[in-house]
Amino acid sequence: MLVNRRTLLKASLALLPVVVGAACGRAVVSPSETAATSVGEPSSLTVYSGRNENLVGPLLEQFGKDTGIAIQVKYGGTAEIAATILEEGANSPADVFYAQDAGALGALLAENRLSALPDAILNAVEPRFRSPQGQWVGTSGRARVVVYNTEDVKPADLPASILDFVAPEWKGRIGWAPTNGSFQAFITAMRVKLGEDQTRAWLNGIKANEPKVYPKNTPTVQAAVDGEIAVGFVNHYYLFRIRAEQGNVPAENYFPPNGDLGSLINVAGAGVIAGSQNQAAAEQFVAFLLSQQAQEYFATETYEYPLAHGVAAHPDLPELATIQTPDIDLSDLADLRGTLQLLQEVELI
Amino acid sequence: MATSPKSAISIALDKTILGGRRTHWSAGPPLPLVAASFVVAIGILLPLVYLILRAAGAGDELWRLLLRTRTAVILFNSVALASAVTLSTIVLAVPLAWLVVRSDLPLRRLWTGLLIVPLAVPSYVGGFVLIGALGPRGMLQSVLEPLGVDRLPAIYGFPGAWLALTLFTYPYVFLVVRAALQGMDYTLEEASRSLGHNNWSTFRRVTLPQLRPAIAAGGLLVALYTLSDFGAVSLLQFDSFTRVIYVHYQGSFDRHLAAGLALVLVFMTLMILVLEHWSRGRARYHSGNNPGLRPLRRMPLGKWRVPAILLCGSVALFALVMPAATVGYWLVRSVSHTASFTALPGLAWNSLWVSAAAGFAAVVLALPIAYLTVRFPRRLIKPFEYVIYLGYGLPGIVIALSLVFFGANVAPIIYQTFFILIAAYLIRFLPQAYGNVRTSLLQVDPSLEEASRNLGRSWHATLRAVTLPLARGGATAGGILVFVTTLKELPITLLLGPIGFKTLATEVWTATAEGFFAEAAPTIFVLLAISMLPTLLFAGKEP
Amino acid sequence: MSISLFAISCKNVTKRFGSVLAVDQVELTVAPGEFLSLLGPSGCGKTTFLRLIAGFEVPDTGTIEIGDVCVVGPKRWILPERRRVGMVFQDYALFPHMTVAENVAFGVRKWPDQRERVGGALRLVGLDTQRDRMPHELSGGQQQRVALARALAPEPDVILMDEPFSNLDVALRARIRAETREILARAGATVIFVTHDQEEALSLADRVAVMWGGRIAQVGAPEELYRNPTSREVAEFVGGANFLYAHAADGHAQCALGSFALNGAAHNGELDLMFRPEDIALTVSPDGASRVVDATFYGHDSTVTIRLDTGEHVQVRLLGAPLAPGTRVHCQVTAEPRTFLREPQAAPS
């Protein structure tokens, strides 16, 4: 029997508050806190989501149900949605941009298309997971990992740092996706931490190992599962999803330890569009994404790191606090441009 | 006996200059058609205006990007891929079309239906399928492994992109050539046989030259599709120009640089159009014999019957059975059994009606321009031909964003309505209808239209009563092409559809983008099934 | 039928295609009920002239009147469908997707008496039993008659026919021609009939207009045209023509076949005399000054080429069998020759 995935997700959503009970962390935002201003008014909300409907659809529907706000969602690729909001300009019907990458939020920020968020929302997460000027907030996180095929690689053979994959024994065995946003954020972090020259050297080193180039994470992970590659530089949660669909596959995630660059955290986040006609509902929505309910959902359903204080990550994952992030603004386009120029220079994109 | 002094010079004049002019209507092109063509042309030029506006904001960075050597390499890649795919689709599709129209191949209508379906395979699915089936650890490999084959030739890069695009775009040529074969005067073939040419020589020297405009039109569709495709080239790791454009949208969120690069694609499109124009030749293609609905005599295949069936079968195997099997395998391999069926009827209906509307509208809008360019090939009208193809050489994202820009800022009333959605489909896919309509109009003898005018019918009554019925085959083929291509269209549907509007294609994307392949499987099957509908419906009405 | 004195009147009609003058200052009037043949070689502009009348081409200068209506002239243009001109195309242009009856009904659709007209037109051409056939199921002659019936059904003021018999085989042609002539006479139509076949033109028409290089060279009754061509071109085009060198003096012209009285203006000097092949009688005689050099047998008649004692050749038509080459003959002229000014290139060797 085949059952609708979303039905399953919805059922689990309904159960969440019961399971989690009253164990809510202090910093988790309660939706009612920010919604106070708009109580009583019939409200509507238009969300442009760069996040996949399969991942967040049930959560967004739940928000509409809980609040009575008529929520409309436009789904698409994060970059395409960001470009759409920019092209729409002042006439954009969007109230909220819910993005897969901080970089996309940065693109809106650079053209002043985001408005400032209330402190109550911003303070729900660590400063490293929100915009320094307070226009967007991270809602869930994903770690960079090395996915490896367990039939091809023994855990002991894996190097301590991602920097060591330039070694000749990895020749022809690596898969990566240089055009992927998370990968580029990782390169940005590397540039900040190690400088341009060392980053260039690393990129050229990996390039010399003749890696397979994939358009994004999913096919990279699938390639590792299929044994097409031994290791792939990806985000942590794709393996969980492939396991959910294909059962026990011969692949594992490796988190390079001791705060290595290889296990950098990237965030999905949200911001309120400047000039939104539904400011209150929009802020209420962003707050909802940081609520206990939503954060638990990310932890258990999408295998992401919850970012709000006090919500625990999936037990299979190393704790968020053990993963370091360099001191960079994830949405800084200037940094991103530098990365792209470097990637172009070494002819990877 | 009377001696009629025939001057060689005057005969030649009659055939070339006077004969060529026979297609001109004396009173000039009908104004309503010219006006309609202008409106269509302006719509199609919107993306170009948008690109110029955006590229102007790119600054020196654009020149730095364009002038690096890698740009030349990628341009060469794109041109090489487009040429290779165009050539292979022609080699594949022309014999297939001939077999289903002109031979006594068994189950012709079924083959026709099956051979069109691969068109509906979205290239991002086609890419996954090819990797899944022929990739380093794919299905074929696992089948061959017991036989000692442990390494298949590399699928990534040029070979994979070439194979994927050939398999999923040859129906463009197939459909156009099929329509042309149906409208062709086969007495010319008989004449050729009577002049001592055998089957093959007749095909090469009479049939093939007559098919030239159709092959050129189909090849043009393939070439421009290849140029603008992103899904297949990115999954199969081939560095094409469109991929680079996407990288700039997706990586740096830089619309200005992306627009500047897209303008290069516009330039390449123009180059290809010039090439196509040149390849069409200068002959006229109506024979004056008005073959019309004369029953076709089919050529007996004889000993070629089995090879013919094998050819059709193996194309169907690679382009249809292989994707279907791969998608089926996703379903079987799935342990979570999360495929969704409840939403399918609604999605199918959305896909069906919006694609049917686009197909119908495309034929209606292609007609005025096709009619003008065929009947009044004057200097003023020629540019329309080029304009109509501009949108087709551009990646879907560019069309979508340009209409987002104009829609939200100039015409907010229609923004994110079905009106602008279908307008965007038309800007992108009109050439598919145009090429077909044009080819079939070329086969309508202008003296039939003159006869109608002479019998008291106005130009529009003539269009309705004579021209359109005779050009029906091409118009239908054009409508089907636009229908099927719209079925799988993604960026335009996502960005310009009314909020919450979902189709089978957006659902397939939603599922495959995050790796939920099993969930996509039933949707893909419905998509493929629907793509067969119009062919099965309309093929029966044709001879 | 129009009550005016002419059915068609063309004044100074000129049409150029690029640098080619297709129709050059043509003046032509056709009387109501008249059957006029437009005779000329391929490329002489006769089809273009027909298309100018029908309205498929616009003349560069000149006016065309049909009945008492000016259809084209300075600042005047009547659409082809309003001209009430019937046309029978060279390839018939039958609508391949319509039955015989539908083809004939095409020009009278929605007329109150449509049924009667279609029936009448089909009876007129003798095809009332074929009404439900498709054009491709008919023979060439039948197709021609359908085209005729279709043109006749709306009872146009004028019927234009563009080489309507050229696609028929010879055996059929004579019969169809006669039938067509009779049908048209019964319908009382004014007809302009384009042909390159002089026999067809002379046998069918009330009047023949010979067209040459875009101009009307001569118009006249068939016999007048045949007997008294005003130019060498017309003389040659409407039948066989023998031109013999002659010297004129004192109202007489002396040529190889004898001396002939000159009518009209006296002319002294060199002349050409034109003899029709049937105007020369032969008598076999061993001491004849002329000799048969070639002979062609056509059945009921034959043509022989005679070499005269001046070295000139003439063609002579004989009833019955030809004479064998080498036979010596006497030539005798039985009808008055037509005189032409000499053309330099025609001087005897």
- A158 and A132 within one domain: no
* B83 found inside a domain: yes
Q: Which DSSP helix (H) or strand (E) runs through B259?
A: helix B255-279
Cα–Cα distance measured from residue C214 to residue B10, given in angstroms and rounded to the nearest whole number: 11
**Contact map slice: B 116-135 vs A, CB within 8 A:** 128, 131, 135
> Tokens representing B296?
């076709």
Residue B11 above 50 pLDDT? no
Contact A74, A46 (CB under 8 A): yes
Contact residues on chain C for B184, CB-CB shorter than 8 A:
none
Sheet with C69-73: strands ordered across: C20-30, C8-17, C61-66, C69-73, C76-77
Q: Which residues of chain A have pLDDT under 70?
A: 1-42, 326
**Mean pLDDT within C264-282:** 82
Q: Read off the pLDDT of each residue in B42-47 and give the average, rounded to a whole number.
A: 92
DSSP string, A247-285: -S-SEEEE--TTT-GGG-EEEEEEEEETT-TTHHHHHHH
| A258 in the same domain as A164 | yes
Indicate whether A302 belongs to any domain: yes
pLDDT of residue B284: 52
Which of B137, B156, B397 is opposite residue A226, by nearest beta carbon?
B137
- HEC profile of B382-439: HHHHHHHHHHHHCCHHHHHHHHHHHHHHHCCCCCCCHHHHHHHHHHHHHHHHHHHHHH
Looking at per-residue pLDDT, the higher value among B244 and A87 belongs to A87
List the beta bridge partners of residue A302.
none
Question: Could you tell me the two tokens for A35?
Answer: 């919604």
| Residue C311 per-residue DSSP state | S
Mean pLDDT of the C232-245 span = 88
- CATH number at A223 reads 3.40.190.10
The Cα A58–Cα C253 span in angstroms is 115
C59 to chain B: closest CA residue: B26
Q: Which two tokens stand for residue A238?
A: 């794709």
Window from B392-406, C91-105, C282-296, C333-347 with minimum mean pLDDT: C333-347
Query: Tens digits of per-residue pLDDT, A282-335?
Result: 999 999 999 999 999 999 888 899 999 888 888 888 888 877 776 777 777 777
- DSSP SS3 for A115: strand
Q: Kindly tell me the sign of the dihedral angle through the C-alpha atoms of C203, C204, C206, C212.
A: negative
Amino acid, single-letter form, for residue B537: L
- Give a yes or no: residue A337 inside a domain: yes
Residue A323 in any domain: the answer is no
Whether the CB of B470 is below 8 Å from some CB of chain C: the reply is yes
Residue B109 within any structural domain of the chain: yes
pLDDT of residue B282: 56
Residues of B with CB below 8 A from C151's CB? 454-455
d(CA B100, CA B279): 25
Residue A308 domain-assigned (yes or no): yes
CA C246/CA C308 separation, integer angstroms: 14
Which B residues 305-364 touch A at CB under 8 Å?
333-343
Inside any domain, residue B444: yes
Q: How many domains does chain A have?
A: 2
Q: Helices marked H in chain A — which ranges?
A: 5-20, 31-35, 53-67, 78-88, 102-110, 119-122, 181-194, 196-208, 217-225, 237-246, 279-289, 292-301, 333-345
Among the partner residues A75, A215, A247, nearest to B335 by beta-carbon distance:
A247
The one-letter amino acid code at B132 reads: G
C-alpha distances in Å from residue A3, one per residue of A99, A127, B148: 28, 40, 40
For residue B13, being part of any structural domain is answered with no
Structural domain containing residue A282: 21-141+267-317
Residue A2 located in a structural domain: no
The structure tokens listed for C58 are: 């616009």
Any domain includes A58: yes
* Cα dihedral: B170, B171, B175, B177 (round 10): 10
- What the block records as the tokens of A102 is 């901080």
Q: Output the CA–CA distances (angstroms, integers) from residue A294 to A20, A60, A304, A306, B252, in the order listed.
A: 12, 9, 11, 9, 29
Distances (CA, A) of B183 to A210, B371, C176, C209: 53, 17, 31, 40
Separation between Cα atoms, residue B26 and residue C79, nearest integer Å: 9
Please provide residue C203's backbone torsions phi and psi, each rounded to the nearest 5 degrees.
-80, -25
* pLDDT surpassing 60 at residue B22: no
DSSP H or E run through A140: strand A136-149
d(CA A85, CA A97): 8
Chain A: give the shortest CA distance to residue B468, in Å. Answer: 40
Most confident of A167-176, B11-20, C165-174: A167-176
Query: What residues contact B23, with CB distance under 8 A and at least 6 apart?
Result: B284, B374, B375, B376, B377, B446
Pairing between strand C85-88 and C158-162?
Answer: parallel
Shared domain check, A51 and A123 = yes
Task: Provide ipTM, 2 decimals.
Answer: 0.85
Q: What angle do CA B41, B47, B48 make, to 5 degrees?
A: 80
Domains of chain C as residue ranges with CATH? 8-236 (3.40.50.300), 242-346 (2.40.50.140)
The CATH number of the domain holding residue B474 is 1.10.3720.10
pLDDT at B21: 34
Touching C (3+ Cβ pairs <8 A), the chains are B
Statement: residue B316 has pLDDT above 80 = yes
In this predicted structure, what is the pLDDT of residue C299? 84
- On the question of pLDDT at B145 being above 60, the answer is yes
For B451, nearest residue in chain C (alpha carbons)? C93
Residue of chain C whose alpha carbon sits nearest to that of B450: C56
Number of structural domains found in chain B: 1
Query: How far is the C-alpha of C299 from the C-alpha of C317, rounded, in Å?
Result: 12
* Rounded-to-integer distance, Cα C87 and Cα C192, Å: 10
Residue in this structure with the two tokens 């009833």, named with its chain if needed:
C319
Per-residue pLDDT, averaged over C302-318, amounts to 90
Top-confidence residue, B435 or A282: A282
In whole numbers, what is the pLDDT of chain B averaged over residues? 82
pLDDT of residue B224: 92
Higher pLDDT pick, B528 / B503: B503
pTM above 0.90, yes or no: no
- Let me know whether A169 and A242 are in one domain: yes
Token representation of residue C316: 């002579």
B218-235 pLDDT, tens per residue?
Answer: 999 999 999 988 888 888
CA distances from C87 to A97, B206, C59, C83 (A): 69, 32, 18, 11
Q: Count Cα neighbours of A189 within 13 Å in the Cβ-side half-sphere.
A: 25
Tell if the CB–CB gap between B21 and C17 is shorter than 8 Å. yes
- On whether both A339 and A219 belong to a single domain, the answer is yes
Residue A18's pLDDT is: 40
Judge if A188 and A227 occupy the same domain: yes
Residues β-bridged to residue A71: A45
CA gap B218, B425 in Å, rounded: 19
- pLDDT category, B452, cuts 50, 70, 90? very high
Q: Is the dihedral angle over the CA atoms A273, A278, A279, A284 positive or is it negative? A: negative
Q: Is the pLDDT of residue C254 over 80?
A: yes
| Contact: B252, A340; criterion CB under 8 Å | yes
* Residues A231, A258 within the same domain: yes
Residue B299 pLDDT more than 80?
no
pLDDT, residue B120, reads: 82
Contact B213, B442 (CB under 8 A): yes
Partner A contacted by B251 (CB < 8 A): yes
Residue B353 falls within a domain, yes or no? yes
Nearest CB among B7, B293, B452 relative to C41 is that of B7
Q: What is residue B285's predicted lDDT score, i.e. its pLDDT?
A: 55
Q: Which of A11-25, B393-407, B433-447, C173-187 has the highest mean pLDDT?
A: B393-407
Measure Cα distances from B399 to A137, A237, A255, C51 in Å.
31, 33, 41, 46
Within this chain, do residues A271 and A195 fall inside the same structural domain, yes or no?
A: no
Confidence of residue B425 (pLDDT cuts 50, 70, 90): very high
**Torsion sign over Cα A281, A282, A287, A289:** positive
At B169, is the pLDDT very low, low, confident or very high (cuts 50, 70, 90)?
A: very high
Q: How confident is the model at residue B400 (pLDDT cuts 50, 70, 90)?
A: very high
Tokens 């997971």 sit on residue: A129
Over residues B483-501, the pLDDT tens digits come to 999 998 999 999 999 998 9
Q: Are A179 and B247 in contact (CB under 8 A)?
A: yes
Asked if residue B509 is part of any domain, the answer here is yes
Mean pLDDT for the stretch of residues B297-306: 80
For residue B543, what pLDDT is reported? 39
Is B62 a member of any domain? Answer: yes
Report which DSSP code applies to A166: G
More confident residue, B362 or B518: B362
Which residues in chain B have Cβ-Cβ distances shorter than 8 Å to C296? 1
Cα B35 from chain centre? 26
Q: Report whether pLDDT(C191) > 90.
A: yes
Same domain for A255 and A285?
Answer: no
Task: Count the residues in chain A.
Answer: 349
Q: Is residue B293 part of a domain?
A: no
Tokens read off for B79: 């041109």
Cα C312 to Cα C246, C290, C306: the distances in Å are 12, 10, 8
Q: Of the candidates A160, A172, A155, A252, which has an alpha carbon nearest to the alpha carbon of residue A206?
A: A172
Closest CA to B470 of B442, B451, B431, B450: B442
| Domain carrying residue B105 | 29-285+299-539
pLDDT higher than threshold 70 for residue B318:
yes
The predicted pLDDT at position B27 comes to 57
Do A2 and B494 lie within an 8 Å CB cutoff? no
Mutation for testing the B interface, residue in C52, C95, C302, C315 having most B CBs under 10 Å: C95
Which token pair is A197?
């020259």
C310 closest CA partner among C290, C332, C280: C290
User: Which chain B positions have a beta carbon within 8 Å of A333's beta carbon?
Assistant: 252-253
Distance, in Å, from the CA atom of A211 to the CA atom of B275, rounded to the nearest integer, reads: 38
Nearest to A84 by CA among B493, B347, B427: B493
Instruction: Please tell me the predicted confidence (pLDDT) of residue B337.
Output: 56
Cβ-Cβ contacts under 8 Å between A and B: the total is: 169
| Same domain assignment for residues A78 and A193 | no
Residue of B nearest to C298 (CA): B1
Answer yes or no: do A91 and B516 touch at CB < 8 A: no
Helix (H, G, I), strand (E, B) or coil at B343: coil
CB count within 10 Å of CB A41 equals 11
For the cut 80, the answer to whether the pLDDT of residue B193 exceeds it is no
Is residue B76 over pLDDT 80?
A: yes
pLDDT band at B253 (very low <50, low <70, confident <90, very high): confident
Instruction: Tell me which residue in A80, A214, A221 faces B491 most closely, judged by beta carbons.
Output: A80
Q: Do B494 and A75 touch (CB under 8 A)?
A: yes
Helix (H) / strand (E) element for B165: namely helix B158-182
pLDDT higher than 90, residue B2: no
Is B237 close to A213, i.e. CB distance below 8 A?
A: yes
Residues A152 and A206 in one domain: yes
Among the listed ranges A49-53, B472-476, C338-342, which one has the minimum average pLDDT value? C338-342
> A111 and A244 share a domain?
no
What percentage of chain B exceeds 70 in pLDDT? 85
* B365 vs B352: CA distance, rounded Å: 20
